[in-house]
Structure 1
Amino acid sequence: MSLSPPLLQVTGLRKAFGGVHAVDGVDFALEPGELLALIGPNGAGKSTTFNMVGGQLRPDAGRIRLAGVDIAGLPPRAIWRQGVGRTFQIAETFASLTVLENVQMALLSADRRLFSFWPRAQHHRRDDALALLAQVGMAAQAPRPCSTLAYGDVKRVELAMALAHAPRLLLMDEPTAGMGPAERLALMALTQQLARERAMGVLFTEHSMDVVFAHADRVMVLARGRLLAEGSPQAIRDNTRVQEVYLGSGSMFGQAAAAGSPA
């Protein structure tokens, strides 16, 4: 048995807004190379939990340890410097720049040269940027402006940008929002592959159950700020408490699992 700490260890996490306990004593862990889905009904506390891990919100109590180092309460930039990357529900790229230049800008930031006038983004670590684009299947699109891309391709560029500083932990907020079924499954299959290759943990929120059941290694379900259930996708799909609290019945779980299963 390994004596090293989990990549991410969250204990006793709490956050209240006025008299409302949005997150109330949440504990979980994430290992390198693992995909952990964070799901729950509206108001469950998943966004609050996610944003505390990313530094957008400061916890009222609890610890968030990254490889044993407590990062709770640090600002997002400091957490990013600790090796935490992030993608957003609405993809954030520079529409007027080319695909290649977007990744070069991310590399400039990783190298702490974002505000330098020289070298310009188009000259900075071109080969490394192309290698990152190749990993996400976008190398052939390198010269195109991001404004001309289909939305699914923009999400792949955003993923390449998030990988530019070689994060140990990747936070993905609704990564497949706005995408069709085939696109979203392909994006998460790619994310799973990269997580394994890089030994990078991935924590993601997601409303599409086909994505969750097809690609998460474990699923964590929140309800009213507390952990309702945690386990494998199969265990969560079969959990009667989850069915009752999250969806009211198991029918959607069964449909999603079938949609996410290989033919």
Structure 2
Amino acid sequence: MSVILKVEHLAKSFGGVKAVSDVSFEVRAGELKALIGPNGAGKSTCFNMLMGQLKPSSGRVSLDGQDITGHSPRDVWRRGVGRTFQITGTYQSMTVAENVQMALISHHRKIYAFLPRAHLMYRDEALALLALVGMEDQANRACAILAYGDLKRLELAIALAHEPRLLLMDEPTAGMAPRERIALMQLTADIVAERGISVLFTEHDMDVVFAHSHHIMVLNRGELIADGTAAQVRANARVQEVYLGGGTLFAQEGAHA
């Protein structure tokens, strides 16, 4: 599989504090890769550098072989990187379909022409994306009355409206019930398999991580201490030491879920 994202010696310091230190990894086409670690490990800082919200102190980020280090979030987005957030952000006064239509309008660069007829633009495409995430029957509902799990699925449809090659998902199942978590990540895995999208996600629920990830990376105090399959990460002595001190990885992480 070809490399979509390549991170080389990425680092970020805030004053004398090293939030991320010499992190290198790759994400390949069609890969579902998890980035885990204790609270304060540097996961969000790493994500924010990849998406352009933070400028690295040093290192390089490449997308499809093109250097995007320090580019603006909009430029990174335009190049095919989408993102979902731990806290959902939708237009509460709009319907489910209208939220996706707004994303499509932006993707097609029609944002300045949309006002008079926004509710008519890209309606069929929006419904197709909602069908993909299992929400077509809620297309005309207001976002303000959606259940939290449905908001998460809507956010995924909005992210897919841009046709990303790489999707960054920041704790996608946060705040969801266990059954909803499993369903959302199975949906994501199905989309990865069907469309060949690459996904890098952070997550505290280890059942989700180990059930759906092709590969898992572990950060601790800003350093990447493991990068491998689920079996390799389970058996990694340093991961066990960091998380456990002799306990189990799953019990430690589950306490944060």
Residue 144 (1) aligns with residue 151 (2):
no
Residue pair 1:237, 1:254 contacting (<8 A) in 2 also: no
SS at match of 2:98: helix
Q: For residues 12 and 256 of structure 1, do their structure 2 counterparts lie closer, same or farther at Cα, with a shift above 3 Å needed?
A: closer
Residue 219 (1) aligns with residue 219 (2):
no
Residue 242 of structure 1 corresponds to: 239
**Residue 107 of structure 1: CA displacement?**
0.3
Q: Number of matched residues?
A: 254
Residue pair 1:85, 1:169 contacting (<8 A) in 2 also: yes
**Structure 2: runs of 5+ lacking an equivalent:** none
Residue pair 1:237, 1:250 contacting (<8 A) in 2 also: no
Residue 112 (1) aligns with residue 109 (2):
yes
Residue pair 1:136, 1:160 contacting (<8 A) in 2 also: yes
Return the alpha-carbon distance in structure 1 between the equivalents of residues 116 and 207 of structure 2.
44
**Residue 118 of structure 1: CA displacement?**
4.4
Residue 93 (1) aligns with residue 90 (2):
yes
Residue 56 of structure 1 corresponds to: 53
Kindly, what percent of the aligned residue pairs are identical? 62
**1:43 partner amino acid:** G
Choose from 7, 10, 15 the match for 1:10: 7
**Residue 42 of structure 1: CA displacement?**
1.8
**2:244 partner amino acid:** L
Return the alpha-carbon distance in structure 1 between the equivalents of residues 70 and 200 of structure 2.
18
Q: TM-score, normalised by structure 1?
A: 0.92
**Over residues 60-103 of structure 1, what are the superposed CA-to-partner deviations in whole Å (9 max), with x where a residue is unaligned?**
11111111011110010000000000100011111111110010
SS at match of 1:115: helix
Choose from 29, 33, 54 the match for 2:30: 33
Residue 130 of structure 2 corresponds to: 133
Return the alpha-carbon distance in structure 2 between the equivalents of residues 218 and 144 of structure 1.
37
> For residues 117-196 of structure 1, what are the structure 2 equivalents within 5 Å?
117-118=114-115, 120-196=117-193
Return the alpha-carbon distance in structure 1 between the equivalents of residues 186 and 120 of structure 2.
31
Return the alpha-carbon distance in structure 2 between the equivalents of residues 250 and 113 of structure 1.
54
**2:224 partner amino acid:** L
Residue 260 of structure 1 corresponds to: none
SS at match of 2:112: coil
Q: For residues 120 and 14 of structure 1, do their structure 2 counterparts lie closer, same or farther at Cα, with a shift above 3 Å needed?
A: same
Return the alpha-carbon distance in structure 1 between the equivalents of residues 43 and 21 of structure 2.
11
**Structure 1: runs of 5+ lacking an equivalent:** 258-263
Q: TM-score, normalised by structure 2?
A: 0.94
Return the alpha-carbon distance in structure 2 between the equivalents of residues 114 and 249 of structure 1.
55
Residue 207 of structure 1 corresponds to: 204
* RMSD over equivalenced CA pairs, Å: 1.7
Residue pair 1:168, 1:200 contacting (<8 A) in 2 also: yes
**1:96 partner amino acid:** S
Residue pair 2:240, 2:249 contacting (<8 A) in 1 also: no
SS at match of 1:120: helix
**2:48 partner amino acid:** N
Return the alpha-carbon distance in structure 2 between the equivalents of residues 168 and 63 of structure 1.
19
